[in-house]
Structure 1
């Protein structure tokens, strides 16, 4: 998967790239590079959030869809989106009517911020509405985000309760105990996959693999950070992570600009040289594809 939520300011600084022309050129280069390394590997445009057909038309006009095999969308109607959960089929249909590519749902989820019973109901309703309608559906996520870690969002505490919902998206609490929705998820696996981001040297990796196997998960989405590839010991961590995830069909998301390679020093910045992102994607595919 090439990038993540490119129409979300928390993941791509479109104030520096207001027409997404730099983004589109970067994705096209990366798609070409991946195809050159592994011609049969499925290349997916990073999931959009919010779901926006006009955005896909725009980047498509810049060539961003020329070197991908699928597009993806993200939806969180019970937490952040301004539409109801029952609208999921029509939201998906709008995108499938817009592009010629298969449409994946690479993140869908419900937080337990207000009540764990809401998450449990929301998972069941999501499965009713979406199973069988998309080639891949990834529930976000397996684990709650540890409260000592920051969430990847642009406003942090200024978002009010919306910010804190980020920490309660998991099926497993921070203390390692399961929530009620975990049992319901198991009834829908492997039709439902999981999206779980493992941070650099994440202490939850081994426990995550154990949970995924117990739940019967087949499809897993995670990430390898371009920015992390400049940390000391990055190769050992990437190797360990990818080795641990071998039992699953893994969609690896390549994203996050190294600060010293961006137009401005931030992980959301367009890179100064988009060829460097394409080279990172090619090297990772060569190593793990």
Structure 2
């Protein structure tokens, strides 16, 4: 069921990895190396992808190279949201990819790219078409974020100030489908770009949208998908039953699974962004999931 395994999500973004606990990413490097080795031991050929950078930063890749992380992954990934959060214009996409290719010869994925409909749904529709024109043929995978708007009741957290590009009120409007199930104009536009474009859709624990998502993705012609299995969720009651249900529902797609989020009791920060106390435990989780689903 798994096409590839992604190690963490946005490790250079302080909303996903705590830089106060790991200012030079040494502990992240230990964690990523442990995961990469464990995944390889569990599956000899499954591609391993370094979690998408946000912001896109060649210095981060050079740091990971120096710390040995790139020896344990087969591809690197970037995330970009120039119409919402990033402080660069949408037409800079080719230049941003070139910045990363200048510092590594690893295959390059765009594992999240999106445009919110916060200002206007027509802006999202235009942004999707322009993004597709700029990225198709320039990256091995292009995952549009996302299928669904984030329900307002779920909340979204950030450690960033708005001046740093957080604007997280926009996070609730990134979907092709509104919270009430209505389709935005970008829904039809996206269908014009499949199967070249895939989706990134995170499913919350026991997400009620799972079956609907599968039907919508098949209608859109989606063939590949990025989602996540949370190490923190692994410690919830009936976690494996939910993981099984999620992965079974997605079996008709080529799935990249992102492994991330530290359980509160497994890291010094007592938060999902904390480095784990023992990187080998995270590696063990990754290996178990790979054996179970790949």
TM range (shorter): over 0.9
Name the counterpart of 1:187.
192
Q: Is the 8 A contact 2:87 2:165 kept in 1?
A: no
Pairing 1:59–2:60 present = no
Structure 1 residue 97 displacement after superposition: 1.6
Pairing 1:166–2:176 present = no
Name the counterpart of 2:34.
29
Name the counterpart of 2:283.
278
Name the counterpart of 2:148.
143
Q: Within 2, Cα distance between the matches of 1:157 and 1:198?
A: 26
Q: Is the 8 A contact 1:88 1:129 kept in 2?
A: yes
Name the counterpart of 2:292.
287
Identify which range, 93-102 or 198-207, moves more after superposition: 93-102
Report the count of equivalent residues. Answer: 289
Change (3 A) 1:124 1:260: same
Name the counterpart of 2:227.
222
Q: Deviations over 1:203-260 (max 9, x none)?
A: 0000000000000001100000000000001011000000000000000000000000
Secondary structure, aligned partner of 1:65: helix
Q: Within 1, Cα distance between the matches of 2:271 and 2:18?
A: 9
Q: Deviations over 1:170-224 (max 9, x none)?
A: 0000001100001000000010000000000000000000000000001100000
Q: Is the 8 A contact 1:43 1:68 kept in 2?
A: yes
- Structure 2 segments unaligned to the other structure (5+ residues): 1-5
Equivalent positions of 1:46-125 (< 5 A) are 46-125=51-130
Q: Is the 8 A contact 1:156 1:163 kept in 2?
A: no
Q: Is the 8 A contact 2:203 2:227 kept in 1?
A: yes
- Structure 1 segments unaligned to the other structure (5+ residues): none
Q: TM-score, normalised by structure 1?
A: 0.98
Q: Deviations over 1:90-129 (max 9, x none)?
A: 1011111211200100000000000000000000000000
Pairing 1:199–2:194 present = no
- Of 235, 238, 247 in structure 2, the residue corresponding to residue 233 of structure 1 is 238
Q: Is the 8 A contact 1:116 1:179 kept in 2?
A: yes
Q: Is the 8 A contact 1:47 1:106 kept in 2?
A: yes
Structure 1 residue 157 displacement after superposition: 8.8
Change (3 A) 1:120 1:10: same
Q: Is the 8 A contact 2:53 2:77 kept in 1?
A: yes
Secondary structure, aligned partner of 1:188: coil
Q: Within 2, Cα distance between the matches of 1:20 and 1:228?
A: 24
Q: Within 2, Cα distance between the matches of 1:22 and 1:188?
A: 39
Q: Is the 8 A contact 1:50 1:74 kept in 2?
A: yes
Q: Within 2, Cα distance between the matches of 1:9 and 1:285?
A: 27
Structure 1 residue 64 displacement after superposition: 1.1
Q: Within 2, Cα distance between the matches of 1:10 and 1:231?
A: 22
Change (3 A) 1:82 1:223: same
Q: Within 2, Cα distance between the matches of 1:216 and 1:144?
A: 19
Change (3 A) 1:235 1:156: farther
Secondary structure, aligned partner of 1:279: helix
Q: TM-score, normalised by structure 2?
A: 0.96
Name the counterpart of 1:153.
158
Name the counterpart of 1:11.
16
